[in-house]
Amino acid sequence: MFRPTLLAAALALAPLTAALADEHGGRIAITGTASINAKPDIATVFAGVESVGPTAREALTANSRQMTAVYDAIAALGIEERDVGTSNFNISQNWRHGQNGSQPDGYRVSNQVTLRLRDVSRVGAALDALTSAGVNQAGNIQFEVEDADTLLDAARREAVQKARERAELYAGAAGVELGKVMSINEGGPMRAPQPVFAVAEARMASAPPPIAPGEQELQVSVTVTWELVE
């Protein structure tokens, strides 16, 4: 299985708040922020079928027939069962609005499924297969890094190290030394906004749509508080 690669690490220190003295004695707190860029290796695709009919049973029968074809297409793609799940199912009555008010106008059935693709290069082919099988609702394609927490460990170490270096600088300028660590608090991890792709009129496409996952920026901030020793 594709594993994410650590592409880059950039360390930035947030504006610090240093308390050189308080009622508890001399302390200094520094916040360090580290970021890592990584290639997403998992894609989540939301797709479904919406059907209408004069009665709830007819709408449900049509929807079930289409969804069976969709699940057959999913099986043909070789997606594991653990990565396929129903995310929404709804039966509702349609209403026609006119001069005489609202009147019932048949029923609508929506059945949506969520797929996790562990090979992001297959997103376009998966969408093509799904729409060919009858999917008429698709979108919100989300990308993620499966091993993000392990990658962030490198950023955590860097953040703490840089925080210590900055704390030593301020302590030295104040004529004191760093003592024991009083606390370590993590303020993340944070993920930079990830592109979300909406697929419209996918059935009309003559070839699999091109999808580019790009990179994700993973960030973590760590605040370390030291005791100050004169």
CATH number of 42-144, picked from 3.40.50.620, 3.30.450.40, 3.40.50.2300, 3.30.70.2970: 3.30.70.2970
Domain ranges of the chain: 8-39+147-192+217-229, 42-144
pLDDT tens column, 144-167: 998 888 889 999 999 999 999 999
Contact 38, 7 (CB under 8 A): yes
Across the chain, mean pLDDT equals: 82
Q: Note the pLDDT of residue 215.
A: 82
Q: Mean pLDDT across the stretch 86-111?
A: 89
- CB contact set of 204 (below 8 Å; sequence gap of 6+): none
Q: Note the pLDDT of residue 183.
A: 95
* Top-confidence residue, 23 or 181: 181
Q: Note the pLDDT of residue 188.
A: 62
pLDDT band per the 50, 70, 90 thresholds, residue 115 = very high
pLDDT tens column, 30-66: 999 998 899 999 999 999 999 999 999 999 999 999 9
Architecture per CATH, 8-39+147-192+217-229: 2-Layer Sandwich (3.30)
Kindly list the distances between the CA atom of residue 137 and the CA atoms of 50, 178, 199, in Å, as whole numbers in the listed order: 7, 59, 8
Count of H-run helices and E-run strands, the chain: 3, 10
Q: Note the pLDDT of residue 206.
A: 52
pLDDT band per the 50, 70, 90 thresholds, residue 18 = very low
Q: What angle do CA 216, 202, 66 make, to 5 degrees?
A: 115
Q: Note the pLDDT of residue 207.
A: 64
Answer whether residue 9 shows pLDDT above 80: no
